[in-house]
Chains A and B, each alone.
Chain A
């Protein structure tokens, strides 16, 4: 099983749509969870940390299910500028962060 697994997409959605991404991780001892976004040929940028109780930041909501080792990201009211690759990131051991391969989102007008 891959350390961090994501549906690669692409997800093609119209502006204003709600879209959800899922991610599973293999190490049950993982403690830190993040969503990053990456634009083409740019560095990963932190979108949000994911907390046990779930958390929201504007149009973005992240959920964590430790029992199922599953993380999700929900984007409401999609904008053209949300088009990017969304990376699920989990610490494997210590401070080492492991990246999923990413899910491509394309928002179209």
Chain B
């Protein structure tokens, strides 16, 4: 069964540094997402991406965050200047062409900001 893959599985960075989290969505999917989950809390929507542009973003997704699909296969989340409170699991997800179809999640990147 096709999978969403994410790298790295764990990233440790110092406050103020830039990080890039990488995702390879399922190949024939058209909608892409980033979610995050702070330890012990619920899964929170960050951003959705369709047709090479952001279709929706949450209040969490401020100017420090950006997404890109540079080469038609990778889908990246960049945090420009990390803060302690950015420490969380970051999940990439992709969705097929049909509206109302479920999201398929990658196994996540654990980001630790020290």
- Give me the interface of A with B, judged by CB distance under 8 Å: 31-32, 34, 38, 41-46, 49, 87, 91, 93-102
Q: How many residues in B have their beta carbons less than 8 Å from beta carbons of A?
A: 25
Q: Which residues of B contact A32 (CB under 8 A)?
A: 99-100, 102
Q: Is the interface of B mostly helix, strand, loop or mixed?
A: strand
Are B42 and A100 interface neighbours, CB within 8 A? Answer: yes
- Given contacts A34-B102, A49-B102, A99-B43, A94 and B89 within 8 Å (CB-CB): no
Count CB-based A-B contacts (< 8 Å): 52
Q: Is the interface of A mostly helix, strand, loop or mixed?
A: loop
Q: Nearest A residue to B6 by beta-carbon distance?
A: A43
Query: A53 to chain B: closest CB distance in Å?
Result: 15
Query: B25 to chain A: closest CB distance in Å?
Result: 13
